[in-house]
């Protein structure tokens, strides 16, 4: 699925800040990184991507209409996620 816009609210920002991630890093990873979008539980998707500075992020989103997503949370990738991301040629 293609992400065209990220929708932010206070709760989304609160969740990512708890993981020392800022909204600009999420947007950079999604729109300028080589993002891999994977289906997760229920209506959620996991986005694996990397920022320009080289930070590997796991971003959990819910798709809304026409490619818009609501961010649930974002954090640094764990080792398993990083290996998967690198193996996929990103």
Which whole number is the average pLDDT over 17-29?
A: 97
Give the helix/strand (H/E) hosting 69.
Answer: strand 68-76
pTM for this predicted structure: 0.93
CATH number of domain containing 64: 3.10.450
Residue 25 within any structural domain of the chain: yes
Residue 60 within any structural domain of the chain: yes
Per-residue pLDDT of 37-82, as tens digits, reads 999 988 999 999 999 999 999 999 999 989 999 999 999 999 999 9
| CA–CA distance, 53 with 29 (Å, rounded to integer) | 10
Residue 32 within any structural domain of the chain: yes
88: left (phi over 0), alpha (psi -120 to 50) or beta: alpha
Is pLDDT at 90 greater than 60 in this prediction? Answer: no
**Summary count for the chain: helices (H), strands (E):** 3, 5
């Amino acid at each position: 699925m293609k992400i065209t816009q990220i929708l932010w609210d206070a709760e989304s920002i609160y969740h990512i800040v708890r993981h020392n991630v800022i909204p600009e890093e999420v947007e950079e990873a999604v729109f300028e990184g080589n993002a891999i979008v994977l289906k997760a539980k229920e209506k959620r998707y996991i986005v694996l991507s990397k920022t320009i500075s080289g930070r590997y992020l796991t971003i959990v989103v819910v798709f809304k209409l026409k490619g818009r997503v609501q961010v649930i949370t974002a954090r640094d990738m764990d080792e398993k996620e990083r290996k998967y991301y690198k193996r996929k040629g990103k």
